Homo-oligomer: A and B are copies of this chain.
């Protein structure tokens, strides 16, 4: 099993048809957007993509792994170079997260996957890697480190702020629209800047 959760490097000697990989992943994204998480089954994907279910199971050991790979092909790799301007960097980081998570397939998949993880203890850590993986988390810590002392109280744990940020994004994208609230995400940046500021930096 490769680092992306697929069965890439089995060394069976026969070259693998990358066209099938791409078609199955694309079909998975289409069905997620069209039918939602619950109805995006391996059987439904196989039928729509015109491949057999064994061809899918050879590549991805489960429906969860297939959906993870379809929605987050290289999610943990998005890294933004910090400029040292905290308000701007934070807003850019937030916008990037919102863009990735608001693609139609991601909207359907993320809450569905989170639901599945609750009753699947062996999925442990997968969501840590996918939604708040070490690369994005590290990038966020770097962003705070690059900011001037007047903007960041060093006593605040960057990991805690990161967790609040991701939770805020998830709520903003997936719940807030149903509460009839406005679409502008800058309140998240504003409140995080206030939470980060040192006591005297605000005076």
Residues of A within 8 A of B (CB): 33-38, 107-112, 114-120, 123-128, 131-132, 156-157, 159-161, 163-164, 166-172, 174-176, 178-181, 187-188, 190-192, 194-197, 199-200, 202-203
Contact A163 B176 (CB under 8 A): yes
| Bound CA span A110–B175, Å | 11
Residues of B close to A188: CB separation below 8 A: 164
Q: What are 25 A-B pairs with beta-carbon distances under 8 A? A: A36-B120, A37-B116, A38-B115, A108-B115, A110-B115, A111-B111, A111-B114, A111-B118, A112-B112, A115-B115, A124-B178, A126-B178, A128-B179, A132-B175, A156-B191, A161-B191, A163-B168, A163-B187, A166-B171, A167-B168, A168-B168, A170-B170, A192-B195, A199-B203, A202-B203
Of all chain B residues, which has the CB nearest A166?
Answer: B171
